[in-house]
Amino acid sequence: MFIEDKDLASIQEVRNLIRTAKKAQKELAQLNQEQIDTLVKVVTKACYEQREYLAKLAVEETGFGCWEDKVLKNTLASQGVYEEIRDLKTVGVLSEDSKKGITEVALPVGVIAGLIPSTNPTSTVIYKALLALKTGNSIIFSPHPHALKCIEATVAIIQDALKTVGAPAGVVTSIHRVSISATNELMRHKDTKLILATGGTAMVRAAYSSGTPAIGVGPGNGPAYIESSADIPHAVQQILDSKTFDNGVICASEQSIIVDQSNQEAVIAEFQRQGAYFVPDSDAKKLGAAVIQPSGLMNPQMVGKTAPEIGKLAGLSVPETARVLIARETGIGKQHPFSMEKLCPVLGFYTVKDWKEASTLTNSILQNEGIGHTFAIHSQNKEIIRHFSLYTPVSRLLVNTGSALGGVGATTNLFPALTLGCGGIGGSSTSDNISPMNLINVRRIATGQRSLADLRKAENQVAEVVKELKPECSLSDEALIEALVAKVLEKLK
């Protein structure tokens, strides 16, 4: 009797996919910009038309979020991304500067590994496929096992669309025999040239340690600060709309609220008026233990559930009308669960003396978890906003808008993205909202403008000017520099 070794079978599947994807990518690299744009257009149309079907499939399989909001995410990932990249040049000559003698040429990286989370499965597949196609790359998806069916359904729609325009087979594919061994083989294979990793911390770390160049994201744990000059009803509306969108599974969504003592009562009253439920202190410990495990990790049973569902799972009496559960918090760290990332409609609530204390608290929260990701401020004070923009360790600072939809570019003019870089400070290779420009290499052709003799002549002329300026050394540093530059330019004419 033959017993199949599942790990070996999954590894072999990945090797076959990579072989096919490599061949397909070489064919794709021969297409011009117009041909590439045709592929992008047909895939966008197909995914947009199936946005509702895919949204319902994702919720049915994963149990995370609500399908109505996933429809909007699928729209952003398809039509929203398409509108942003439609006229973007990504193939062949990107730019020519005859004056400087510099020409830039786009080069695809090759085979891309796309790691997909269970929280945003269909939208992330659409988004990454469009980015890969736009840049002449092939992509192989490694699905989260709890979202395999909806991811495969999305890939099938993309493949069918590509067939209609004669795209090479194997340009967009997905692992069917999902396993850790298969994902590791995909990430470490010599023919995989780049990893696009969206998911949990452990998976992103594995991508960065694979030896293959990777673009990954860190955890989100962004606070939202309602400063004393804020339009409180508007701020509360933005936060609630953001935190309840798809039941809070977007990593850029707010995780805690910081308010000044001066506006605390008004903010609480407005949250209650708009449907938030403040958990009594006697129940907060119970809720915190249910949402965040002793290890500091989220309880997966709580992810993407509604506020009343979370209340029931935690054994609390929560109004059926509650949009978000809010609990007071004073500390930071895994012993203080409301200070941690919670991909569900649960928020921590901090009170501070003033904006300076809010800035210090914000940085402490982010240093513990979520550094480099996203922060939102609600304020009309431009000087305070400027301070936070200069000294808050995040890659996206959002002003007077919801963090979830603002971070992914839906309510802001940031690039519409479902992979959000956290920069070097957050352990990422980039701080960008990942776009096609992150998936190409640029070859720069440079024409000689100066000779060695020219360089030596310029050096000698500078030395002469310095000698001439010795009597002027009494000038201030700024005046001396200005005089030096003026005389050098005069001699170089």
Contact assessment for residue 326 and residue 315, using Cβ atoms and an 8 Å cutoff: no
Contact assessment for residue 137 and residue 192, using Cβ atoms and an 8 Å cutoff: no
339-353 burial, b for 16+ CB within 10 Å, e for fewer? bbbbbbbbbbbbbbe
- By three-state DSSP, how is residue 168 classified? coil
| Alpha helices per DSSP H over 274-381 | 281-291, 307-314, 355-368
Active site residue 47: no
C-alpha 292/C-alpha 345 separation (Å) is 13
C-alpha 407/C-alpha 263 separation (Å) is 26
Residue with tokens 């809070």: 248
Cβ neighbours, 10 Å, residue 367: 12
C-alpha 241/C-alpha 256 separation (Å) is 14
Task: Show the CA angle centred on residue 58, arms to residues 413 and 125, nearest 5°.
Answer: 50
Residues forming a β-bridge with 276: 324
- By three-state DSSP, how is residue 450 classified? coil
Pairing of strands 372-378, 223-226: parallel
Q: Which two tokens stand for residue 69?
A: 């909001």
Catalytic residue among 47, 251, 344, 422: 251
Q: How far is CA 133 from the centre of its chain?
A: 19
Environment class of residue 446 by beta-carbon count within 10 Å: exposed (0-12), middle (13-18) or buried (19+)? exposed
Which 8-state DSSP code applies to residue 444? Answer: E
Q: What residues act catalytically?
A: 251
